[in-house]
């Protein structure tokens, strides 16, 4: 199974996402932002980082990259896509996911080992978890506050589309402690924390992140 | 909106070499540029005429203390007496290059360096600190390496001083904002508060990079006909400051606006530049490379030329500008960030430019390497610089500054802490333990360190608050490095020779506690004014201490940085020689963490405790006292302890190891309990106070599983290291129980440890 | 040489941590009359020549597609810079 990892100028965790895919047993394929071609991959990860420096709004410029012209319709057609941190911001800017990410409420960048609750274990990226399971995932962001209007938030809750919630103190002011969400179909998932930093014993706070990548491989086999 | 209007550059009023030769009597602002009269005379002598204003700009900045090391050179040469060998291999590049490079085995090399950005960070904390990170990272890139981690030793005035409140948040946000965006994990450093740094905060930055042996790039311009290419950001008016005096000098009309002294960093541009450089190296299209930092193009052109075949021509008017009103002198001096200079063979230029295009990095051919002996710089066809490049870059003045042991030292050293009132009851001991734990220098620093990304790249094995940062270099084998930076300037103030050795010993020990074999040293020597004989004596003593210490440890000093003039009026900072030690781990999976994570382990202290409280944290926090002489330095004991720690990690004997330094055993035990919330029961000698608060060197506390205790004992026996059983870890114990001290719950410890910084910074 | 100025503000219902920080600091500095602060962004786009209706229309489109995120922000104004006139 081939999973593409997009590199935008300023992407940082593309390297880590590729490693996570390999450790989960998949084949990682590097996708270049300026290349309007998905090269036949079975799923895509939009990695963390500061694409284009995040100078305008996080993810705002990346969403207009040539590769996105191909990715957006593919995602709408069911291609599994995981957006991590900056990737989540790109998915929101692309309107593949509702809402937006704004500056942390305490106005500082935060890097911490964050407890999360898995709220939805039926997406393409969460099948190897159990709903209600607690996991520990590295979190690192400056613009990680998830916001949306009340109607959108109510709809997300009502449709079970909140995929992950922060446990303990809310690290960034996200509305309703939302750490990650999914689209209606369950193939597109975005979250602020970084599962790709939690795939190897001895590196990062846990190995709980590996299940994201094994999940998508299993979902592709079952599909 | 007038400031956006582009003015056409002009040659009118430009000071050319021809004009300089014809007008020897023109009065030049050498003093305003920081040159001494005899230095100016020497420039005239070198050139056989008066310098042009562009030449004067180059000499003045390249001969400054910051670039030429004119006051420290005679002392730094002593580092060169050390063998260029590490315990495991060769030094591949040393002092004089952008950064030292050491062999770490398996065909891998590591380059690391520490630099200061002190004064700019005081003026503009955020940008000063950010560009400090940017500059050191480019130094590492210029060696052909991929930067893999950064560290930041920081020193501020007293925690409750208003200036600290102004400087610290900006510095931390600047380091985080720049480093995080570059994708470099921040794996350690220090944060120290002391009133001696009021008005003179120290912002030091370390970067480490990894490369294969064959990828080493040295900064030299060789190969006649090779192109000199400037690439990266456009050149603007950053960091020019005082040089605008020159530009106005040559203007008949009103001079240009005063340029800012502050440089502004663009971390995104630097991230792209890193990837672009690595692609260029991979493609093999770079003959020589140099970063642009202090003194910008002046430095890059003269250093590249003087390290190469000697000749170079540059057309300065081809430099891409962010501000078209810049005069040639200002372009030469601009410290705009995120720029590099490469020497490229003509037949590889096309490929070079294709790679820079792919990354959207602007690249411009400025000139070429020639078979001449001079660096020639022209401006719209007129020659404005014609100099022997060595005279600019390397043959600056060298001063043997007067040195004098400070008169106050005798009285200071006589004022020992041994006479201070000690706590005498279990309740008093407990109270002072918590007081020390909550003190600014011991308290939890996560308010600061949580603003740094420690995980990016996925190779971080240990980071703050562990004793040393550990990163993996090679995923296939687990080969990695450990790094620590240390300096207890209170000790250095009491005795700079011993203080420098204690700083070196502590960094060495911290690296060893992770199980890494210490192999090399880089230093950042922060001192007061070299024009003060007392400061110069402190500096020379510290250098001697480092040289003698390195010789005893068998490690070379591979590079570093000197920062003078850290003083306000007649008051200098404490001598602060920050030492960074690099260690090698053949497999980072075997590294030893600092904190114990399970109960049922035996705790041992390694090394001997003496009655040593002078300069200690206890004396400073409880009695506001600094006096006496620092703890005894025993380099043989340090080496023996390191051998036990390195071998213990390799044999899988140690569950945790934590060095004893500031705050002694007291702080090590409290931090050990706090790390994973696992309690401990401790029993010490009859002299509990000394056992807890003494700061004797060459000590560590280790946690071992019961079945490994014998193995540890025979290791200690083999190396002659004293080992004493001090207690056990126990999950069922809430906090810390020490015989003879009222116990402390985990919650009490946590509150004391974590409340201090948030109470001040929010 | 003309300039178009575009102002973008966070929607009123979206949390504005930067504005809140400023609002908190004002009274400490003795500016006690201000009850709330919202912080926004200003873009200045330069064109060769005058700011025509076509230029303004283009600027509005850029403001809606790239310079603002309609989920959280409003474009509150797109106008020619008056000092150019």
Task: Give tens-digit pLDDT for B586-621.
Answer: 999 999 999 999 999 999 999 999 999 999 999 999
How many Å lie between the alpha carbon of B761 and the closest alpha carbon of chain C? 13
DSSP secondary structure of B207-276:
EEEEEEGGG-------STTPEEEEEESPB-STT-GGGHHHHHHT-SSS-PPPPPS-----HHHHHHHHHH
* Option in B181, B450, B461 nearest A111 (CB): B450
Name the helix (H) or strand (E) containing C3. Answer: strand C2-10
Phi, psi of C16 (to 5 degrees): -125, 85
Q: How confident is the model at residue C13 (pLDDT cuts 50, 70, 90)?
A: confident
Tell me which of B117, B126, B374, B574 is the catalytic residue: B117
**């709220």: which residue's tokens?**
A119
pLDDT tens digits for B189-228?
999 999 999 999 999 999 999 999 988 877 677 888 999 9
How many Å lie between the alpha carbon of A30 and the closest alpha carbon of chain B? 15
Q: Which residues contact A44 (CB under 8 A, 6 or more apart)?
A: A3, A4, A5, A6, A31, A38, A71, A74, A75, A79, A80, A81, A82
Give chain B's contact residues with C (Cβ, < 8 Å).
1, 4-5
Residue C72 near residue A100 (C-beta atoms within 8 A): yes
Give chain C's contact residues with B (Cβ, < 8 Å).
1, 3, 44, 46, 81, 83-84
3-state SS, B641-665, equals HHHHHHHHHHCCCCCEEEECCCCHH
Chains in contact with A, where contact means 3 or more Cβ–Cβ distances below 8 Å, are B, C
Question: Which of A5, A8, A9, A169 would you mutate first to test chain B, the one with the most B CBs within 10 A?
Answer: A9
What value does the CA radius of gyration of chain C take, rounded to a whole number of Å?
16
- State the pairing for strand pair B146-156/B100-105: unpaired
Mean pLDDT over the full length of chain B: 93
* Option in C15, C66, C67 nearest A147 (CB): C15
Phi, psi of B349 (to 5 degrees): -60, -40
Name the helix (H) or strand (E) containing C79. Answer: strand C73-80
User: CA–CA separation, B710 vs B706, rounded Å?
Assistant: 8
Residue B545: how many CB atoms within 10 A of its CB?
Answer: 24
User: CA–CA separation, C61 vs B490, rounded Å?
Assistant: 62
- Domain C2-80: CATH architecture, name and number where available: 2-Layer Sandwich (3.30)
Chain B residues near residue C44 by CB distance under 8 angstroms? 1
Q: Between B53-62 and B37-47, two packed helices, what is the crossing angle to 10 degrees?
A: 120
- Under DSSP, the state recorded for B52 is P
Q: How confident is the model at residue A199 (pLDDT cuts 50, 70, 90)?
A: very high
**Contact flag B4-C81 (C-beta cutoff 8 Å):** no
Residue B302: how many CB atoms within 10 A of its CB?
Answer: 28
**Contact flag B455-A194 (C-beta cutoff 8 Å):** yes
* Residue of chain C with shortest Cα separation from A98: C71
Chain C residues near residue A148 by CB distance under 8 angstroms? 71
Residue environment code for B250-268, b if the CB has 16+ CB neighbours within 10 A, otherwise e: beeeeebeebbbbbebbbb
Chain C CB within 8 Å of residue A93 CB? yes
Q: Which neighbouring-strand residues pair with B732?
A: none
Binding-site residue positions of B: 69, 113, 115-119, 138-139, 263, 291, 335-337, 523, 560-561, 563
Question: What pLDDT score was predicted for residue B99?
Answer: 80
The two tokens of residue B280 are 């260029």
Tell me which of A93, A119, A143, A196 is the catalytic residue: A196
Please check the confidence at residue B234 and state whether its pLDDT lies above 90: yes
> Chain-centre distance of CA B130, in angstroms?
14
Question: Which of A60, A109, A195 would you mutate first to test chain B, the one with the most B CBs within 10 A?
Answer: A109
Question: What pLDDT score was predicted for residue B13?
Answer: 76
Question: What pLDDT score was predicted for residue A123?
Answer: 98
Chain A CB within 8 Å of residue B460 CB? yes
Chain B CB within 8 Å of residue A42 CB? no
Chain A CB within 8 Å of residue B88 CB? no
pLDDT tens digits for B259-314?
556 778 899 999 999 999 999 999 999 999 999 987 899 999 999 998 887 799 99
Q: What share of chain A is helix, strand, coil (3-state, %, to 5)?
A: 30, 30, 45
Chains in contact with C, where contact means 3 or more Cβ–Cβ distances below 8 Å, are A, B
Q: Between B349-358 and B267-283, two packed helices, what is the crossing angle to 10 degrees?
A: 140
Tell me which of A85, A92, A93, A197 is the catalytic residue: A85
Residue B158 near residue B222 (C-beta atoms within 8 A): no
Residue environment code for B698-722, b if the CB has 16+ CB neighbours within 10 A, otherwise e: bbbbbbbbeebeebbeebbeebebb
Binding-site residue positions of B for substrate: 116-119, 138, 263, 335-337, 563
Chain A residues near residue C13 by CB distance under 8 angstroms? 149
Question: What pLDDT score was predicted for residue B598?
Answer: 97
Chain C residues near residue B5 by CB distance under 8 angstroms? 1
Residue B566 near residue B527 (C-beta atoms within 8 A): yes
When pLDDT is averaged across residues B657-685 and rounded to a whole number, the result is 97
Question: What pLDDT score was predicted for residue B243?
Answer: 53
How many Å lie between the alpha carbon of A145 and the closest alpha carbon of chain C? 9
Question: Which of A52, A199, A203 would you mutate first to test chain B, the one with the most B CBs within 10 A?
Answer: A203
User: CA–CA separation, B645 vs B515, rounded Å?
Assistant: 6
Residue C73 near residue C11 (C-beta atoms within 8 A): yes
Q: How confident is the model at residue B253 (pLDDT cuts 50, 70, 90)?
A: very low
Question: What pLDDT score was predicted for residue B361?
Answer: 96
Question: Which of B456, B462, B464, B649 would you mutate first to test chain A, the one with the most A CBs within 10 A?
Answer: B456
Residue A135 near residue A118 (C-beta atoms within 8 A): yes
The two tokens of residue B168 are 């610290």
How many Å lie between the alpha carbon of A221 and the closest alpha carbon of chain B? 28
Chain B residues near residue C81 by CB distance under 8 angstroms? 1
User: CA–CA separation, B21 vs B30, rounded Å?
Assistant: 17
**B606: three-class secondary structure by DSSP:** strand
Binding-site residue positions of B for Mg(2+): 115, 139, 291, 561
Angle at B592 between CA B589 and CA B598, to 5 degrees: 105
Chain C residues near residue B4 by CB distance under 8 angstroms? 46
- Under DSSP, the state recorded for B515 is T
3-state SS, A133-164, equals CEEEEEEEECCCEEECCHHHHHHHHHCCCEEE
B753 classed as catalytic: no
Percentage of chain B surpassing pLDDT 90?
A: 83
pLDDT tens digits for A42-67?
999 999 999 988 888 899 989 999 99
Cα–Cα separations (whole angstroms), residue B68 to B33, B58, B63, B391, B459? 15, 12, 5, 11, 37
How many Å lie between the alpha carbon of B183 and the closest alpha carbon of chain A? 5
Question: Which of B1, B2, B166, B173 would you mutate first to test chain C, the one with the most C CBs within 10 A?
Answer: B1
pLDDT tens digits for C38-67?
999 999 999 999 999 999 999 999 999 999
Q: Which of B217, B396, B198, B391 is nearest to B310 (CA)?
A: B391
When pLDDT is averaged across residues A127-134 and rounded to a whole number, the result is 97
| CATH code for position A143 | 3.40.50.880
Chain A residues near residue B480 by CB distance under 8 angstroms? none
Q: How confident is the model at residue B246 (pLDDT cuts 50, 70, 90)?
A: low
**Chain A, window 136-155: residues with a beta carbon less than 8 angstroms from a chain C beta carbon:** 145, 147-149
> Chain-centre distance of CA B236, in angstroms?
27
B117 classed as catalytic: yes
Chain B CB within 8 Å of residue A57 CB? no
Domain containing residue A45: 2-222
pLDDT tens digits for B698-728?
999 999 999 999 999 999 999 999 999 999 9
User: CA–CA separation, B428 vs C41, rounded Å?
Assistant: 56
User: CA–CA separation, A89 vs A144, rounded Å?
Assistant: 9
When pLDDT is averaged across residues A57-84 and rounded to a whole number, the result is 95
* Option in B271, B454, B458 nearest A10 (CB): B271
Phi, psi of C74 (to 5 degrees): -115, 140
* Option in A64, A107, A147 nearest C72 (CB): A147
Residue B573 near residue B526 (C-beta atoms within 8 A): yes
Question: What pLDDT score was predicted for residue B6?
Answer: 39
**């705790």: which residue's tokens?**
B603
When pLDDT is averaged across residues B121-129 and rounded to a whole number, the result is 91
Domain-wise residue ranges, chain C: 2-80
* Residue of chain C with shortest Cα separation from A174: C15
Cα–Cα separations (whole angstroms), residue B51 to B42, B304, B358, B434? 11, 21, 41, 63
Cα–Cα separations (whole angstroms), residue B186 to B133, B147, B536? 11, 11, 33
* Option in B266, B458, B588 nearest A16 (CB): B458
Question: What pLDDT score was predicted for residue B242?
Answer: 52
Chain A residues near residue C15 by CB distance under 8 angstroms? 102, 105, 145, 147, 173
Chain B residues near residue C3 by CB distance under 8 angstroms? 1
Q: Which of B16, C70, B240 is nearest to A93 (CA)?
A: C70
**Helix count (H) and strand count (E) of chain C?**
2, 3
Chain B residues near residue C46 by CB distance under 8 angstroms? 4
């Amino acid at each position: 199974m081939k999973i593409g990892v997009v590199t935008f100028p300023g992407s940082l965790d593309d390297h880590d996402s590729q490693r996570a895919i390999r450790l989960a047993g998949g084949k990682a394929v590097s996708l270049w932002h300026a290349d309007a071609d998905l090269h036949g991959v079975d799923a895509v990860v939009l990695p963390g980082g500061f694409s284009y420096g995040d100078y305008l709004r996080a993810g705002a410029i990346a969403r207009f990259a040539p590769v996105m012209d191909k990715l957006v319709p593919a995602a709408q057609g069911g291609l599994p896509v995981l957006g991590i941190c900056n990737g989540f911001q790109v998915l929101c800017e692309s309107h593949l996911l509702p809402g937006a990410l704004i500056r942390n409420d305490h106005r500082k960048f935060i890097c911490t080992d964050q407890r999360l609750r898995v709220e939805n274990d039926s997406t393409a990226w969460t099948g190897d978890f159990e709903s209600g399971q607690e996991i520990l995932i590295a979190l690192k962001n400056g613009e990680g506050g998830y916001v949306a209007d009340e109607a959108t938030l109510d709809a997300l809750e009502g449709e079970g589309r909140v995929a992950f919630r922060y446990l303990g103190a809310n690290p960034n002011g996200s509305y309703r402690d939302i750490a990650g969400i999914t689209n209606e179909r369950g193939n597109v998932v975005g979250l602020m924390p970084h599962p790709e930093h939690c795939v190897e014993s001895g590196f990062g706070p846990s190995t709980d992140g590996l299940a994201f990548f094994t999940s998508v491989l299993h979902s592709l086999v079952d599909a | 909106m007038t400031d956006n209007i582009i003015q056409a550059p002009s040659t009118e009023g430009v000071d050319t070499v021809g004009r300089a030769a014809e007008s020897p009597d023109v009065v030049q602002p050498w003093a305003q540029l920081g040159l001494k009269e005899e230095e100016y005379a020497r420039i005239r002598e070198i050139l056989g005429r008066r310098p042009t204003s562009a030449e004067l700009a180059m000499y003045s900045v390249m001969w400054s203390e910051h670039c030429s090391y004119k006051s420290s050179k005679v002392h730094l040469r002593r580092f060169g007496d050390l063998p260029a060998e590490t315990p495991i291999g060769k030094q591949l590049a040393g002092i004089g290059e952008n950064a030292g490079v050491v062999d770490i085995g398996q065909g891998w090399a590591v380059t690391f360096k520490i630099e200061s950005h002190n004064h700019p960070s005081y003026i503009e904390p955020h940008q000063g600190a950010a560009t400090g990170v940017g500059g050191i990272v480019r130094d590492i890139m210029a060696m052909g390496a991929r930067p893999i981690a950064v560290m930041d030793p920081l020193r501020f005035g007293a925690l409750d001083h208003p200036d600290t409140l102004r400087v610290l948040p900006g510095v931390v946000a600047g380091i985080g904002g720049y480093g995080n965006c570059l994708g470099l994990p921040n794996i350690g450093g220090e944060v120290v508060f002391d009133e001696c740094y009021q008005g003179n905060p120290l912002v030091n930055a370390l970067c480490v990079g990894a490369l294969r042996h064959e990828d080493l790039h040295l900064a030299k311009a060789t190969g006649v006909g090779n192109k000199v290419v400037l690439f990266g950001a456009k050149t603007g008016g950053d960091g020019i400051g005082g040089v605008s005096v020159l530009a106005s000098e040559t203007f008949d009309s009103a001079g240009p606006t005063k340029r800012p002294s502050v440089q502004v960093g663009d971390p995104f541009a630097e991230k792209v530049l890193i990837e672009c450089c690595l692609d260029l190296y991979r493609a093999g299209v770079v003959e020589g490379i140099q970063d642009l930092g202090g003194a910008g193009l002046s430095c890059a052109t003269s250093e590249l030329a003087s390290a190469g075949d000697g000749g170079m021509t540059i057309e300065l008017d081809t430099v891409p500008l962010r501000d078209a009103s810049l005069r040639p002198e200002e372009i030469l001096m601009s410290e705009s960030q995120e720029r590099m200079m490469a020497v490229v063979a003509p037949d590889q230029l096309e490929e070079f430019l294709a790679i820079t295009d792919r990354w959207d990095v602007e690249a411009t051919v400025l000139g070429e390497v020639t078979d001449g002996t001079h660096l020639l710089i022209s401006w719209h066809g007129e020659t404005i610089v014609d100099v022997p490049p060595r005279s600019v870059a390397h043959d600056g003045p060298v001063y043997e500054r007067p040195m004098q042991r400070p008169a106050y030292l005798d009285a200071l050293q006589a004022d020992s802490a041994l006479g201070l009132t000690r706590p005498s009851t279990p309740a008093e001991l407990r109270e002072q333990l918590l007081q020390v734990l909550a003190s600014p220098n011991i308290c939890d620093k996560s308010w600061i360190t949580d603003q740094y990304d420690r995980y990016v790249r996925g190779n971080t094995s240990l980071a703050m608050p562990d004793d040393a940062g550990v990163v993996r270099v090679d995923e296939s084998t687990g080969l990695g490095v450990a790094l620590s930076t240390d300096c207890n300037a209170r000790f250095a103030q009491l005795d700079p020779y011993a203080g420098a050795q204690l700083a070196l010993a502590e960094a060495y020990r911290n690296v060893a506690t992770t199980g890494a074999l210490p192999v090399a040293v880089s230093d950042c020597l922060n001192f007061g004014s070299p024009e003060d004989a007392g400061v110069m004596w402190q500096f020379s003593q510290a250098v001697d201490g480092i040289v003698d210490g390195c010789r005893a440890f068998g490690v070379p000093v591979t590079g570093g940085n000197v920062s003078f003039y850290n003083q306000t009026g007649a008051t200098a900072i404490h001598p602060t020689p920050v030492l960074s030690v690099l260690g090698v781990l053949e497999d980072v999976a075997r590294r030893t963490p600092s904190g114990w994570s399970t109960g049922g382990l035996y705790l041992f202290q390694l090394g001997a405790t003496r009655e040593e409280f002078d300069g200690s944290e206890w004396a400073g926090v409880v009695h506001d006292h600094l006096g006496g002489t620092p703890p005894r330095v025993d380099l043989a004991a340090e080496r023996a302890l390191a051998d036990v720690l390195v071998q213990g990690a390799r044999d899988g004997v140690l569950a945790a190891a934590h060095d004893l330094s500031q705050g002694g055993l007291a702080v090590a035990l409290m931090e050990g309990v706090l790390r994973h919330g696992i309690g401990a029961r401790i029993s010490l000698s009859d002299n509990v106070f000394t056992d807890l608060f003494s700061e004797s060197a060459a000590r560590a506390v280790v946690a071992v599983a019961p079945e490994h205790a014998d193995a540890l004992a025979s290791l200690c026996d083999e190396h002659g290291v004293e080992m004493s059983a001090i207690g056990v870890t126990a999950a069922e114990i809430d906090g810390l129980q020490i015989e003879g001290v009222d116990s402390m719950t985990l919650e009490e410890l946590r509150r004391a440890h974590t409340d201090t910084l948030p109470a001040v910074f929010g | 040489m003309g300039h178009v100025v575009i102002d973008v503000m966070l929607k009123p219902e979206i949390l504005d941590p930067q504005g809140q920080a400023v609002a908190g600091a004002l009274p400490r500095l003795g500016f006690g009359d201000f009850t709330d602060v919202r912080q926004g962004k200003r873009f200045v786009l330069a064109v060769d020549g005058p700011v025509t209706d076509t230029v303004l229309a283009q600027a509005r489109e850029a403001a809606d597609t790239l310079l603002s995120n309609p989920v959280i922000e409003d474009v509150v104004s797109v106008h020619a810079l008056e000092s150019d006139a």
